[in-house]
Amino acid sequence: MLSLLNSFRIIALLEGVSYILLLFIATPIKYLGDDPMYVKLLGMPHGILFLAYIVLAIMVGQDLKWKTRTLLIVLVASIIPFGTFYIEKKYLKNKAL
């Protein structure tokens, strides 16, 4: 069984990858290639991963007793491209697995 922290790390990675794919591959194909199929395919999974990231971030923040500022940084990182990768390196890398 995965710990809460490990679940968050996996969701953060998947959310970050889905966001990058959506922003830098699917959206340009939609507007430059006039093909919305990839946005439709990636949109729903990314939305679910985004919501899971937010919920797990709050749960992990309570578990690790993050300050409000740290939690806000972690939450804002979910809307910045590559932000979840920064969070992994800065806040989660040295935490016990």
Residues whose CB is less than 8 angstroms from the CB of residue 80 and which lie 6 or more positions away in sequence, other chains included: none
Distance CA 45, CA 14 (A): 10
Q: Report the half-sphere exposure of 52 (CA within 13 A, side-chain side).
A: 19
Residue 25: predicted pLDDT: 96
Q: Report the half-sphere exposure of 85 (CA within 13 A, side-chain side).
A: 8
- List per-block mean pLDDT (blocks of 10 residues) for the chain, which spans 97 residues: 90 96 96 94 96 97 94 96 93 71
Count of CB atoms situated within 10 Å of the CB of 8: 27
Phi, psi values for residue 94, rounded to 5°: -95, 5
